[in-house]
């Protein structure tokens, strides 16, 4: 275990929704927090609110992503990475253009790969760390009009499993987390039908799961896909 107050935590897609909620939760727990997003105004405001470092970055740009994580690491080695950023643009398959497919894959899987590789040495050199990739039901099964999103989330599941195997001897835990409950976020505002919006919860209620993974670095969690709602309820008892 490593106390959250001694950790440097990086959260992507942190300008709003789940990412913003997690950044606030880790900051409240005493962690040093760095946040990444392309939405400059919202990210800067969040960083000022919680005392975090803001790295304004378009994760579809590999070079910009590498520069941003490099600047973050220059201030302090990274202990926990939460890759939450994603693009979801529902479209019938014949209408999905290559630019949309590439952008979805660039943010969903390429950025996850680049960021994890960048912080791997920090974690290995400090006795371990946690790589947490936010997945969804779209990483488990297929959905109509989610060709690119499902492909990205399925790839993320595979990446996490491989990193769990390679990190086992270095104390690096890698897992995916599915919300397990409908969340009220800007993405769900755009895509959820009315019947699902009646069931949603504030994303801050899922934060205990992420805090638990980062703090415990439990090897039993590595390589697993975890239900954030269920784990959050369990750790709150």
| Positions marked active-site | 149
Q: How many CB atoms lie within 10 A of CB 89?
A: 15
Q: How many CB atoms lie within 10 A of CB 117?
A: 12
Q: How many CB atoms lie within 10 A of CB 189?
A: 11
d(CA 78, CA 66): 14
Q: List all residues 6 or more positions away from 154 whose beta carbon is below 8 Å from its beta carbon.
A: 138, 139
Q: Which long-range contacts (CB under 8 A, 24 or more apart) does 152-158 make?
A: 152/86, 152/87, 152/104, 152/105, 152/107, 152/108, 152/109, 153/86, 153/108, 155/105, 155/108, 155/109, 156/83, 156/108, 156/109, 156/112, 157/133, 157/225
d(CA 77, CA 211): 18
d(CA 235, CA 41): 34
Q: What angle do CA 204, 208, 209 make, to 5 degrees?
A: 110
């Amino acid at each position: 275990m490593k106390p959250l107050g001694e950790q440097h935590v990086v959260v992507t897609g942190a300008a709003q929704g789940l990412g913003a909620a997690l950044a606030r939760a880790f900051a409240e727990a005493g962690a040093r927090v760095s946040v990444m997003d392309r939405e400059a105004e919202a990210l800067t405001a969040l960083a000022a609110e919680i005392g975090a470092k803001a790295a304004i970055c378009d994760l579809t740009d590999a070079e910009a992503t590498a520069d941003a994580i490099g600047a973050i690491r220059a201030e302090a080695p990274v202990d926990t990475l939460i890759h939450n950023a994603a693009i979801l643009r529902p479209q019938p398959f014949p209408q999905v253009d290559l630019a949309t497919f590439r952008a979805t894959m660039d943010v969903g899987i390429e950025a996850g790969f680049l960021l994890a590789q960048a912080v791997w040495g920090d974690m290995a050199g400090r006795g371990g760390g946690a790589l947490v990739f936010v997945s969804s039901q779209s990483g488990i099964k297929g959905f109509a009009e989610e060709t690119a999103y499902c492909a990205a989330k399925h790839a993320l599941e595979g990446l996490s499993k491989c990193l769990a195997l390679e990190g086992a001897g270095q104390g690096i835990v890698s897992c995916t987390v599915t919300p397990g409950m409908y969340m009220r976020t800007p993405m769900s505002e755009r895509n959820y039908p009315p019947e699902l919006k009646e069931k949603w919860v504030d994303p801050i209620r899922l934060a205990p799961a992420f805090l638990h993974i980062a703090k415990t670095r439990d090897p039993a969690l590595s390589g697993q896909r975890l239900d954030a709602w269920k784990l959050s309820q369990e750790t709150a008892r």
